[in-house]
Every structure is written in C-alpha cells, then in structure tokens.
Structure 1
C-alpha cells in the first residue's frame, strides 16, 4: 500500500501506462480521458487487433506517445519507431517512454517525404491540433510556424523494415502514403481526415493500400480510423 507521506503520484495512469503529469500537455479533458481509459479507446482497441508479437511498427504522428507506449507494453514487438513533427512534443514523448521503462519504443523529430529537406509546420496552442497546413484563424498569437526536417521515406523504410504502419498525420496521409513503397507491410491503421483531404484524398489512401496488396479490414476499423491487412 502506498504510504500517505509519499504524496500524490507524478503520473496519470491509463490502461496500465504512466503519463507524467504536465500542466502544458496533460490538462482538462485529456487528463480525464486518460484516467477514464477513454483516450483513443477505439484506436487502441483496433490496433491491438492488428499488431502481433514480433512485429516492427512505424508510427507517423506520435501525439503524446500513447500508441507507441501501448504497443510496446501490450505486445512483445521488436520495436516501434515513431515520428513526430511537433518539436514541443518530443521531450514529453521521451518522458513517457522513460516512465514506462521502454527500450523498444523510439521517437524521431521529423516527417517522412519523397526526399530529404525541410517543410513548414504550424504549432498551435492546442498542441494536438498542430499540422503541416495553415488553418483559417491562425495568428502569430495562437500559432507558431516552425521548420521541420523531412526524411526520405524510402530510406527510412529500408532501414527500419516495418511490417505494420500506423498513421495519424492530420491530412498529410493523402499525399504521403501513395508516394511510399508499402509492399513490405502486413497491415496498417490509418486515421483519415476527410475534412482536409476530401473524397479524392480518401480514395488515394485506399488505392495506396490496395497497390501494396492490403485489403480493408472491417473488424479493425471504426469510422475514420481504418485498418488494412494482407490477409484476414
């Protein structure tokens, strides 16, 4: 039993995972959702149907490190390699991985693209709403435009050799995924953003999956979160 003199826990607990309390990131509704095991609940349920022991996972859009930590603690995966464009989130994700004693979860600041370079990224007051595209209502007071490294997607995939892809990249999925060689994947979970990419973008994502030999997996999909598998 915890001694009363120990004081409050420095962590918010969610699904057995530790998330360091941070007044900038883990506040309000997000903190409550984590505590109630509601944060990304459908996504978590879907991805655990997809990922198996021994998988190697690449995650595009790491958020607060929830998905990479979930997979590294719930499955005996080889590794999960997460990429996040928002520079403000990197230290927090590292702290989440450290708090959960993970050695098979890795975070890289940057995004994948057709070739090495850099691009603009828009960091907003609500960090989880930050994106690569400017939005109506952005002002210097509520949005900071920063430069982010673009890493050659082909080189990254050849180095990592993932067999599972997870992507939540705020609308960039329609441009990025069709440009990637996804033929080495056994499965993928993609969060679509139709409000940004429209029907043409949604079709482009599905076409990229089909070209890679992956089929829509209904049992692992929920609304905008869609899963694909090579075999059911």
Structure 2
C-alpha cells in the first residue's frame, strides 16, 4: 500500500495534511473531555441533596426506632418520624435522578462536541486520501511489475485535459498508435505525476521500465 507520493512537494503536503487532521482530532477530543467534565460539575448539587436527604432519612428512622420504645404511645409517636424519613428518601431519590440525568447529558454532549467537527473534516479529507492510495498503489504495482508504460500513456489521454495533451503533441493519439517513444514517455509521465508516482529512469523508451 502506497500512502504517500514519490514527488517531494506533494508528499510534504500530504504529510502536513495528515498531521493537521490528527491534531484536529486530538484537539476536539480534548475539548469534548473538558465539556464533559464541566457538565458533570452540574451534578454536584444533586449529589449533595442525595447525601443530605439520605442522612436525614436515616436519622429520622433512628429517632422513630428510639421513640417506638415508649410505653403506650410509642407506635403513634414513631409514625410521623417514619413519614418524614420516607419523604427524605424521596428527596434523596430526586437528587440521584438529577445526578443520572446530568451524567447522561455530559456523556452525549461530550460525544457530540467531538464527533461533529471530526466527522466534517474526515468527510473532506478521507475520500481524497483513499482515492490517492488506491490509484498510487495500483500504479506502483504496474511499475514494480515492469509493465509497459503504454498503459499510463493511454490513461493520460483519457484523463488529462485537452490543453495539457496539446502541449505534448498535436496528435498524441496518433503518436501513441505509431509507438512514438518520446510522446509515449511524456504522456506516461503526465499520468504518473497525477497519481503521485515518480517516473522511472529511462521512461518509455524501449517499451519497458528500466531496472
């Protein structure tokens, strides 16, 4: 798999682009973590409510247990304490629900903050990189197999703009059919450069890639 171009300037741009994308991803992951942590701080009051209400419920129940031992009126005196303890438990439950809601919000907010900008950049950057890797890898495979450069010349005539082909020859197709080595060489170099590959030494002369 060929990840980067042979041509120095294009390779440098690709490396810089890849590094910038990685930095962009890292930055937004850090931002998402900060947003999540800041949102989780909103759960503080809920935790305090839960702790205080749970403690109050425990004390009220302990008090109810204590007064329940009083002769004759113990059960009647205990009842209000039990009721107040149940109410305090309800308040504690509300605090726990608030904490759970804040934690869920923090989780999804952090994911959203990170995913949206990262996906936007990947949608712009990734297709071009994948396209380059596929084309460059396929082209390099032909070069490594010492394939005729006629193939690259033919692809150049199919892919290159007409004004670019006109600078090579007034009739590039005719020159290609005649086997004009110089024209075939120049056409092949156009296609190779377009996919980021370095033209082989010796070009198309002789019909094969030099070792």
Bigger fraction of residues in helix: 2
The TM-score, its normalising length taken from structure 1, stands at 0.21
The TM-score, its normalising length taken from structure 2, stands at 0.22
Query: Which structure ranks higher in relative contact order (CA pairs < 8 Å, sequence separation ≥ 6)?
Result: 2
